[in-house]
Amino acid sequence: MVGSSSTKQGLSSWIGAATATRTTVEFDKNVAVSGGDSPSHSDNFTDVSLGFGERAISAAGAAVLSAILVNPLDVAKTRLQAQAAGVPYDSLCNLGHLNSNTVLTGVKYNSSGTRAVLGAEPTCSPECFRYKGTLDVFYKVIRQEGFTRLWRGTNASLTLAIPSVAIYLPLYDIFRNSMEEYTLRNIPIATPYVPLVAGSLARSIACITCYPVELARTRMQAFKDTKNGVKPPGVWKTLVGVVSPVNSVNSYQNSMQTYRLLWTGLGAQLARDVPFSAICWSTLEPVRRKLLGMAGDEASATTVFGANFSAGFVAGILAASATCPLDVARTRRQIENDPERALRMTTRQTLVEIWRDGGFKGFFAGVGPRVARAGPSVGIVVSFYEVVKYCLSHRHMHRQSEDADL
């Protein structure tokens, strides 16, 4: 099908949103969108003919692929951030009287790296329970917990990613298309900022909708189970463990606290995800438009994949680097085990605490695996999503062509 006249016509229409509109608008001073008779977003075949359900299926497939491939890096990032917050990882050291799921409150490390809490004295070198970097996390997780623990929380990632991305990307498409159509007609100078606004709005809705599963995933990845032969708790048991401390007294007030605990750290999550999406899409859109514009009508599904993966990779790295301090704050709030403290803390207070405990370096705990994860993750999700949309649009065009011939 690729290479036929109908394919070229479809690709031209598909790229129309990226390369041409009825009004001349400059993107980032490098990418021009111009033309007289070329289609706008509203005329773009892919955007018009594909319904929300087809977009959601495309996005869900991308989310599954990304979640499985990059989960080990997510585990490494979360472990490094949790360690900076005071989570003890001591399965190889003889400190059995300490629960490995006891976090944060009163747990600190002294300058030599040994733990000074409850008068505990480690019986082996501090190096055996300290992660020194991404590769060290991989090595110690495999050695102490088993290879499969690198995919700890994958079920939660899939449970989260499928609905979250299936909401996020289609909503981004819809918001971007409608906003660009409006701004091109009424406020052309605002058009370059549409991806920023559309991405932030779509991400906020997806984040609020699916947040409890995000909370469960972070806690599943941050803590390790020290009981041999016992299956670690899944998403449901993890969430039950979050709310159980306030269920001892059956009262309306405790019921409200239970509900609030399931959304602990939502502010920090939004504080991270909204700027992440804003930076990501405002970088991704002009880059992929330029790459698709260079390909022209002779492009193929491979070119569509390459342009979107390259743009997503660059955008993911930039966004992840810029928002790392907010990601550290989000992790610290989500792994807090003291219900009263969890409900009392704010994102601002958490950032102050991070600065007090680790200084400027503390804001970038786990930045290596976070950046290494974000680049390919965004690239995979966006490119897979766009290629599936591209293929679905060609199927629609082929059917329309056959109906017209009849």
The per-residue pLDDT for 114 is 41
133 part of a folded domain = no
0.85 exceeded by pTM: no
The per-residue pLDDT for 228 is 56
The per-residue pLDDT for 400 is 74
Of 82, 74, 75, the C-alpha closest to 130 is 82
The per-residue pLDDT for 314 is 96
120 part of a folded domain = no
Range 130-139, long-range pairs (CB < 8 A, 24+ positions)? 130/83, 130/89, 131/79, 131/80, 131/83, 131/89, 133/80, 133/368, 134/73, 134/76, 134/80, 134/368, 134/369, 134/372, 137/75, 137/76, 137/79, 137/80, 137/369, 138/72, 138/76
The per-residue pLDDT for 235 is 73
Do the Cβ atoms of 279 and 315 come closer than 8 Å? yes
The per-residue pLDDT for 361 is 92
Do the Cβ atoms of 379 and 316 come closer than 8 Å? yes
- Total domains in the fold of the chain: 1
131 part of a folded domain = no
Helix (H, G, I), strand (E, B) or coil at 234: coil
CB burial of residue 233 (10 Å; 0-12, 13-18, 19+): middle
Which positions of the chain have pLDDT values less than 70?
1-50, 89-128, 224-232, 245-259, 297-299, 402-406
Domain, as residue range, for 32: 5-88+150-405
The per-residue pLDDT for 93 is 47
Residue 183 to residue 171: CA distance in whole angstroms: 18
216 part of a folded domain = yes
Do the Cβ atoms of 91 and 124 come closer than 8 Å? no
Side-chain-side CA neighbours of 363 within 13 Å: the count stands at 16
176 part of a folded domain = yes
Residue 25 to residue 15: CA distance in whole angstroms: 16
- CATH number of the domain that 285 lies in? 1.50.40.10
The per-residue pLDDT for 87 is 76
